[in-house]
Amino acid sequence: MTSQWISRRSLLGGSLAGAALVAAGGTASRAATVADVADRADRPPALDTQALHDAVSDLSHPPATSAQLRVSRGSDHWYGTAGATDPTDGRSPRPDDRFRAGSVTKVLVATVVLQLWAERRLELDAPIGRYLPRLLPPDSARITVAQLLDHTSGLPDHRGVPDLSTPEAVLRHRFDRWTPQKWVDTVTQDPLKFRPGTAQEYRGINYVLLALLVEELTGRPYGEAIASRVLRPLGLRHSLIPGDDPRLHGPHVHGFLRMTDGSLSDVTVYDQSGSWGEGELVSSLDDLFRIQQALFSGELLPPRAMEQLFTMPPDTVRMLDGGPARYSMGLQKATVNGVTFWGKTGETYGYRTRVFATRDRRSSFVLSYTPTPLTTDEDMTQRVAAVLTS
């Protein structure tokens, strides 16, 4: 799923230098003053921690049972929580509690694909049918790896999937079992929606195909490829692709849905096979912050792959609603009050996650909260973004 707020807004070092300053006397004092002023001008303003606290403490807009936020701006860092991991026990969330991170999964899939590209094991401009023959109809098989990464594939809409437009329907279908092949089959019954590369439409199925590509090239489950290439190298102990396991283990945050009769139903236990390859990730706030910092610093990708990660489609490519493209080859771009953030939104029933940073990492945040409506506005994300860009 994609977030609505994103779619709308979008000193001197070394002994010689030190000696020269000492010898200069009064000039040194003036120089130091000028340097201090310049440094202060370049330094981001201090975090308004009270405003951040207020941003996540309002669990009525949207209705939610808990929230966690980690923020970094310059040398300032802040972490805050609200609500409880489970209203029945009242325990406050902790930064190592697990939760469902939804489509943040796509960032990890894209990272592995770009690693494989940097290793010259695939070509971004190659058709997906070269690597996954006989999986798709001829027109779809010509879609390139790059067009899957940046959501310009034009794949048809799904057919034969359950209607999950009510919370009761979500509960009825939460243990439905899907295979990747069965899920791909739901987009093979109609013509392409548009010529690949000419428009942009955010689609999870693009990353199902990319996860299958990872499995084909590595010879292992895509979750194991992510673990061996990203999670274990970063020393992350609370993140995983759960596979067939519908439960969250260890300390975790519960997700709830508000039923039409007003009652709350716990939806923490949920078969994630319908999100295979694009929305399965289980993680924690601290782990997501570590992933964000490692990815943006170049720790996970070499420079030429980093450029691909941040590459947007040409300006002529628009979203289907006519707005400018907002997805690169693995990330989501959003400009708020003149500040451009890159990252990813993640949603699954009962959970919502936002992981964003400026490209230079001067300002970054990871927000995770547990909204109870089936669909809801981005009030909390907007409040956080407003504080960071004010």
Which CATH number goes with the domain that contains 160?
3.40.710.10
The answer on pLDDT for 6 being more than 70 is: no
Average pLDDT over residues 106-132: 98
**pLDDT category of residue 31 using cuts at 50, 70 and 90:** very low
Average pLDDT over residues 286-295: 98
Q: What pLDDT is recorded for position 123? A: 98
Q: What percent of the chain has pLDDT over 90?
A: 87
Q: 378 lies in a domain?
A: yes
The whole domain housing 195 covers 4-10+46-389
Average pLDDT over residues 87-101: 96
Q: How far is CA 129 from the centre of its chain?
A: 27
Q: 359 lies in a domain?
A: yes
Neighbours of 368 (CB within 10 A): 30
**What's the chain's average pLDDT?**
90
Q: 19 lies in a domain?
A: no
The answer on pLDDT for 152 being more than 70 is: yes
**Helices and strands, number each (H, E), in the chain:** 15, 12
In a 3-state reduction of DSSP, which class is residue 167?
helix
- Cβ atoms of 346 and 281 closer than 8 Å: yes
The answer on pLDDT for 11 being more than 80 is: no
Average pLDDT over residues 222-226: 98
**pLDDT category of residue 43 using cuts at 50, 70 and 90:** low
In a 3-state reduction of DSSP, which class is residue 219?
coil
Higher-confidence residue of 298 and 40: namely 298
The answer on pLDDT for 20 being more than 80 is: no
Average pLDDT over residues 170-196: 97
Q: What pLDDT is recorded for position 44? A: 73
Q: What pLDDT is recorded for position 8? A: 25
The answer on pLDDT for 5 being more than 50 is: no
Q: 26 lies in a domain?
A: no
Q: What pLDDT is recorded for position 38? A: 40
Q: 129 lies in a domain?
A: yes
* Residue linked to tokens 């308004």: 48
- Cβ atoms of 320 and 202 closer than 8 Å: no
Nearest-CA neighbor of 147 among 128, 165, 164, 166?
128
- Cβ atoms of 4 and 62 closer than 8 Å: no
Rounded to 5°, the CA angle 330-336-340 comes to 45
Integer Cα distance of 67 and 111 in angstroms: 27
Q: 370 lies in a domain?
A: yes
Looking at the structure of the chain, the number of domains it has is 1
Integer Cα distance of 60 and 331 in angstroms: 29
Q: 35 lies in a domain?
A: no
Q: 25 lies in a domain?
A: no
Q: What pLDDT is recorded for position 90? A: 95
Q: What percent of the chain has pLDDT over 70?
A: 89
Percent helix, strand and coil across the chain, each rounded to 5?
35, 20, 45
Cis status of the peptide bond prior to 62, with omega within 30 of 0: yes
Q: What pLDDT is recorded for position 120? A: 98
Q: What is the pTM of this model?
A: 0.89
The answer on pLDDT for 145 being more than 70 is: yes
Q: What pLDDT is recorded for position 390? A: 87
Half-sphere exposure of 236 (CA within 13 A, CB side): 30
